[in-house]
Structures are given as C-alpha cells and as structure tokens.
Amino acid sequence: MAKTTIGKVLFTREQIEQRAKEIAAEIDKDYEGEDLILLGTLKGSVPWLVDIMKYMKNDFKLDFISASSYGSSTSSSGVVKIKFDPDINMYNSHILVVEDIVDSGNTLKYLMNKLADRGPKSVKVCTMLNKESRRTADFHADYVGFEVEDLFVVGYGLDYDQRLRGLPYISYLEEEDVEAL
C-alpha cells in the first residue's frame, strides 16, 4: 500500500454514535409495529449498522447485500453489479438499506429498483454520509447521518484500497494521495 496522509478528523466516534442514536429513535418511531428488515451493504456500512442496531428498541430482521459500482478509483461509472444477494423473503416487509456513503447515487438507485421487484412494503435508505455535491443519479436518501464535502473519506468502515476501515473516526486522504490514485 502506498504511503498516505490522513487529514483531520471530520467526525469523531462520539459524534457518529450520537447521530446513530438520534436516527435509531426516528426509525423506531417510523416503523413502530411493522415488519422491518435492515439490509446492510457490505462492506463499508458495518460499523454504522452496528451503531444503528444497538440503539434501536424495536425488533427487526437483519441481512446483507453487496453491490459494486464500476469505474475509476475515485468515481463510479453507473454500471452496478450485485455481488452478494441475500435469500431473505422481502415480500410485505419494509426494507431499510443501511449504507456508509451515497456519492453519485448510482449504486443505491440500482439497488432500490432491484429490491422493489421483490414485493416489499417499502424500500428506504439510511446512510452514514451523504455527498450531495457529487450526485448524478436521481436518488434521495431518507435518513442521513452527516452531509460531507467532496473529499476521499476514510475510516469508520470507509476504505482506501480495502484499508483504513478500522479507524475509529471519519477522516479523508490528503489531495496529493487522491491525485495519485
């Protein structure tokens, strides 16, 4: 792995957990008495998903899905492929996709259409980070942890070449490292 310089901390673990707690309370209220499936997107959403889960009071089912959006290392092309597809029955349940970041929106737009074909009562998205400034697809997230500027964010599940996911905060790669990608 090339040497990289990590920028300042954008969001601390405490800030992220606090936000997850607030959103978990909204989710509990919005889905009270309903069948809910939390669908984590592998791999980056895992720490955020765990935070949401631990603060939810209502019961839910849990599963995972994995999709890849192909393109350069810093932007996706819009060509999405499902790499892991769960066999959980989604018919008549509410689906809440839990994501780490929505960037162009290509991945989520594709996933939402695919999931809608399975007969759920609803499909919504809860993302830790939202990069509205980079949106090219017509996609809107329902629950957003934090709005983030156009930086190559890392940590708290977000990777650079599969590394740095374990940082206990969200930071970013300095520009010279991003240019070298």
Report the interface residues with ligand PRP, using CB under 6 A. Answer: 41-44, 68-69, 76, 99-107, 159
Instruction: For residue 103, indicate whether it is catalytic.
Output: yes
**Least distance (Å) between residue 14 CB and ligand PRP:** 23
Closer CB to ligand PRP, 6 or 42, in the complex: 42
CA atoms of 127 and 83, how far apart (whole Å): 20
CA atoms of 126 and 23, how far apart (whole Å): 9
Instruction: List the structure tokens of 99.
Output: 């994501």
Residue 132 is inside which H or E element, if any? none
Closer CB to ligand PRP, 27 or 108, in the complex: 108
> In this structure, what is the dihedral angle of CA atoms 175, 143, 15, 153, given to the nearest 10 degrees?
-10
Per-residue CA distances from 96 to 84, 99, 111, 133 (Å): 17, 10, 12, 23
Closer CB to ligand PRP, 4 or 107, in the complex: 107
Which entry of 28, 103, 142, 159 is annotated as an active-site residue?
103
Residue pair 95/120 in contact (Cβ under 8 Å)? The answer is yes
**Least distance (Å) between residue 123 CB and ligand PRP:** 15
**Least distance (Å) between residue 145 CB and ligand PRP:** 13
Residue number closest to ligand PRP, CB atom: 44
Residues acting as catalytic residues: 103
